[in-house]
């Protein structure tokens, strides 16, 4: 096990009806003025908006609001939110929605507390020094943003999607009521299943670090996500299945599933270029395309680890004579599952044209400034080769 630090301070309020406590929770922290931030309107359709407003009013919490965070949230709205926070003396950002509303809220919280262009933080030109606190009410199990250090924002002018990782992004509290995810569409549910699995598996199939307890936690997250995913798709109002997905999502990306190992999320980095350039691509769907290609590209560099994944997660039989067969069986099982839950596995299905591959690869190297670490080093050439396997 290699050395690690673990810090996950988000207070979680989990279970049925918990969102109705949001006013009381905020009042107990002593905040006075809230920015209520949300997405494109699902919270109005489901009635959640009215419940949140009532809870805030009942607790005497003053608030202003900003809706419109789109899937793959953009910098323009973040800047608008920052202006509102400053003008209205907001002391807490409350993001209600999926990863996009939460990430947009995180970027607003960081931007409002630092006096500079927020893109400097996302382009890694500057480190933020402070942030407004953020609370969340999660409505989609997927990104783990409700407990993670990350916020991912697209600069719509540059068509660049970039993440900011900092402890300042950890929400102060997150309210997780699985019932709020009953209305998530089958497609978004499946995207979420893939994303939860990828946060776990990208920390699992790594080169360095023996960490048996971390392996077993990761395997539990993966296996329960696969099982609950199938159930939730069959019956969207299966509370236990939705609860499993919700908690698995939070555990998958709060750092727990990678402790004691060295990892770098290569498929995530490549996917962000796809959904950054093509805003209609959902992050989870992009991952379902990139990850199988990465596996096919990389498995030869660590066959024992791919065999462990195949045997322990997918119950593949170990071929001791020819372990490569087992590694390949694990890759095939992953692809079969993605197809079973209705995910695309090729760029064509995402409507991403072949002639955009070169540009995505160049952007993924930050225009030649970085090489992604991993089993091998991934520069422009290797990223192009992986993207070509996605065709």
Give contact residues for ligand NZQ (rule: CB under 6 A). 39-43, 46, 71-72, 97-101, 103, 139-140, 142-145, 148, 150-152, 180-181, 183-184, 188, 191-192, 195, 253, 268, 275, 283-284
The tokens describing 50, both together, are 């009215």
Q: Specify which residues 350 forms β-bridges with.
A: none
Residue with smaller CB distance to Zn ion, 195 or 215: 195
Q: Provide the minimum distance between the beta carbon of 346 and Zn ion in the complex, in angstroms, as a whole number.
A: 19
The total of other beta-carbon atoms located within 10 Å of residue 176's CB is: 24
Residue with smaller CB distance to ligand NZQ, 195 or 219: 195
Q: Which of 391, 276, 296 is nearest to 344 (CA)?
A: 391
The tokens describing 292, both together, are 């199988």
Residue with smaller CB distance to ligand NZQ, 97 or 258: 97
Contact 195, 284 (CB under 8 A): yes
Of 163-222, which residues contact Zn ion (CB under 5 A)? Answer: 195
Q: Provide the minimum distance between the beta carbon of 296 and Zn ion in the complex, in angstroms, as a whole number.
A: 20
Q: Which of 312, 327, 285, 292 is nearest to 187 (CA)?
A: 285
Contact 96, 135 (CB under 8 A): no
Residue with smaller CB distance to ligand NZQ, 242 or 310: 242
Going by the DSSP 8-state scheme, the letter that residue 318 receives in this structure is: P
3-class DSSP assignment, residue 135 = strand
- Please work out the total of residues on this chain that contact Zn ion, with binding judged by CB under 5 A: 1
Q: Provide the minimum distance between the beta carbon of 268 and Zn ion in the complex, in angstroms, as a whole number.
A: 6
3-class DSSP assignment, residue 262 = strand
The entry of ligand NZQ, Zn ion, none near residue 108 (CB within 5 to 8 angstroms by kind) is none
Distance (Å, rounded) from C-alpha 281 to C-alpha 71?
9
Residue with smaller CB distance to Zn ion, 77 or 285: 285
The entry of Zn ion, ligand NZQ, none near residue 217 (CB within 5 to 8 angstroms by kind) is none
Q: Provide the minimum distance between the beta carbon of 109 and ligand NZQ in the complex, in angstroms, as a whole number.
A: 13
The entry of Zn ion, ligand NZQ, none near residue 174 (CB within 5 to 8 angstroms by kind) is none
- Per CB under 5 A, does 382 bind Zn ion? no
Residue with smaller CB distance to Zn ion, 245 or 307: 245
**Cβ-based burial of 70 (10 A; exposed 0-12, middle 13-18, buried ≥19):** middle
Give the DSSP H or E segment for 198: helix 186-204
Name the residue whose CB lies closest to Zn ion: 195
Q: Which residues bind Zn ion (CB under 5 A)?
A: 195
């Amino acid at each position: 096990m290699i050395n690690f630090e673990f810090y996950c301070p988000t207070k979680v309020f989990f279970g049925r009806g918990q969102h109705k406590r949001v006013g009381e929770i905020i009042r107990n922290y002593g905040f006075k003025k809230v920015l209520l931030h949300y997405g494109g309107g699902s919270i109005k359709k489901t009635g959640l908006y009215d419940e949140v407003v009532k809870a805030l009013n009942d607790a005497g919490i003053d608030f202003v609001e900003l809706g419109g965070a789109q899937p793959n949230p953009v910098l323009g709205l973040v800047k608008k939110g920052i202006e509102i926070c400053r003008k209205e003396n907001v002391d807490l950002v409350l993001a209600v929605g999926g990863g996009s509303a939460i990430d947009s809220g995180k970027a607003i919280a960081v931007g409002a507390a630092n006096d500079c262009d927020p893109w400097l933080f996302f382009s890694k030109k500057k480190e933020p020094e402070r942030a407004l606190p953020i609370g969340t009410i999660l409505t989609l199990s997927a990104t783990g943003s409700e407990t993670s250090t990350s916020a991912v924002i697209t600069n719509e002018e540059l068509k660049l999607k970039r993440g900011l990782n900092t402890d300042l992004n950890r929400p102060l509290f997150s309210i997780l009521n699985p019932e709020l995810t009953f209305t998530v569409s089958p497609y978004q549910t499946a995207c979420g299943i893939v994303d939860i699995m990828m946060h776990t598996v990208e920390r699992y199939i790594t080169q360095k670090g023996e960490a048996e307890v971390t392996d077993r936690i990761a395997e539990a997250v993966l296996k329960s996500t696969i099982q609950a995913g199938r159930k939730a798709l069959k019956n969207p109002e299966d509370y236990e299945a939705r609860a499993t997905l919700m908690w698995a999502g939070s555990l998958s990306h709060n750092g727990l599933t990678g402790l004691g190992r060295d990892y770098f999320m290569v498929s995530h980095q490549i996917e962000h270029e796809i959904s950054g350039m093509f805003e209609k691509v959902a992050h989870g769907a992009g991952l379902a395309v990139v990850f199988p290609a990465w596996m096919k590209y990389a498995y030869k560099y660590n066959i024992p680890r791919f065999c462990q994944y195949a045997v322990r997660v997918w119950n593949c039989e170990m071929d001791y004579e020819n372990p490569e067969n087992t590694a390949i069986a694990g890759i095939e099982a992953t692809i079969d599952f993605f197809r079973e839950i209705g995910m695309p596995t090729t760029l064509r299905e995402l409507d991403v044209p072949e002639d955009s591959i070169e540009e995505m690869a160049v952007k993924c190297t930050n225009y030649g400034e970085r090489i992604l670490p991993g089993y091998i080093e991934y520069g422009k050439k290797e990223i192009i080769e992986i993207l070509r396997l996605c065709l």
